[in-house]
Amino acid sequence: MNEQGVTGPQIVGSVADLRAVVAGYRRAGETLALVPTMGALHAGHIALVKAAQARAGRVAVSIFVNPTQFAPTEDFGRYPRTFEDDVAKLKEAGCDLVWAPDAAEMYPPGFATSMALTGPALGLETDFRPHFFSGVAIVVSKLFLQTGADFALFGEKDYQQLRVVTQMAADLNIPTEVVPCETVREADGLALSSRNRYLSPEERATAPVIHRALTEAAIRIRAGAAPDAAMAHASLTVAEAGLRVDYLEARNALTLAQLAAPGEPIRLLAAAWLGNTRLIDNIPV
């Protein structure tokens, strides 16, 4: 690990440079953990870096706002880009390596491969962002194979993404272990997200209603309520607060399939619009 707060992380922009740095780690017998990000780092990302440091001798953070996971109507153009601030936070956190390719390094001319998933990718986000997991699967498979990381840490805040990435890596036999990390929240329950900075003060005050509604639904379900009824109640709570609900669903926590059998592990997942900002969240039951 570099001398924390002194030299700062090494920053590389080409696959060749990245592989040369990682080869050096390997020669020294060190393991590598990757934290894939789109930048605009917050305390949730830093928690992933800390979890990565507990797993491996070296920690790389990728910063790449991946165009293929945004639809033309989405916020790719206005997605926050705060590279210098991100690097300062990663220096503070003692991160070793920042992998920051540009789009041409990631998708050179002639790029011809796309990926699609069924299973955990069915429904939920896919109903509203049909190309999202295709874009995520390609860029994450590339990040895993570019870095050759032993571990990759993902926040549970993007829970369906976590399950999709885990399935994809297993399906392709990518030898990178996907490690989930608990969602980091504000004191009032709002899940940390780079998109929270889009919220007006009034919206920010309203936003915790999603987590509150999910928590109440989990309590009802644990007390014996039917998951569908509990989630309908949660939907009402969120809608009454002025949000437009994309989904509020109870799913199998591993497969993300519709609930089918009593006793299966349950995850409650939500996506809703607050003004022009789309927020997602989820909790276990």
Measured at the alpha carbon of residue 159, what is the angle toward residues 223 and 47, in degrees to the nearest 5? Answer: 105
By beta-carbon proximity to a copy of itself, the closer residue of 115 and 239 is: 115
Residue 12: DSSP 8-state: E
What distance, in Å, lies between the first and last C-alpha atoms of the chain?
Answer: 38
Asked if residue 11 lies in contact with residue 17, where contact means CB atoms within 8 angstroms, the answer is no
Nearest approach, Cβ of 63 to a copy of itself (angstroms)? 17
The reply, when asked if residue 192 is annotated as ligand binding, is: yes
Short-list 73, 167, 158, CA closest to 115 = 167
By beta-carbon proximity to a copy of itself, the closer residue of 110 and 263 is: 110
How many angstroms separate the most distant Cα atoms in the chain? 58
- Give the Cβ contact number of residue 50 at 10 Å: 16
Nearest approach, Cβ of 254 to a copy of itself (angstroms)? 9
The reply, when asked if residue 275 is annotated as ligand binding, is: no
Q: Which residues contact 111 (CB under 8 A, 6 or more apart)?
A: none
Short-list 274, 276, 252, CA closest to 262 = 252
By beta-carbon proximity to a copy of itself, the closer residue of 174 and 269 is: 174
Residues that bind a copy of itself (CB under 8 A): 15, 19, 110-121, 137-138, 141-142, 145-146, 148, 167-168, 171-175, 255
By beta-carbon proximity to a copy of itself, the closer residue of 145 and 225 is: 145
The reply, when asked if residue 39 is annotated as ligand binding, is: yes
The reply, when asked if residue 211 is annotated as ligand binding, is: no
Nearest approach, Cβ of 158 to a copy of itself (angstroms)? 17
The reply, when asked if residue 195 is annotated as ligand binding, is: yes
Active site residue 45: yes
Q: Which residues line the annotated binding site for beta-alanine?
A: 69
Q: Which residues line the annotated binding site for (R)-pantoate?
A: 69, 161
The catalytic site residues sit at 45
Q: Which residues line the annotated binding site?
A: 38-45, 69, 155-158, 161, 184, 192-195
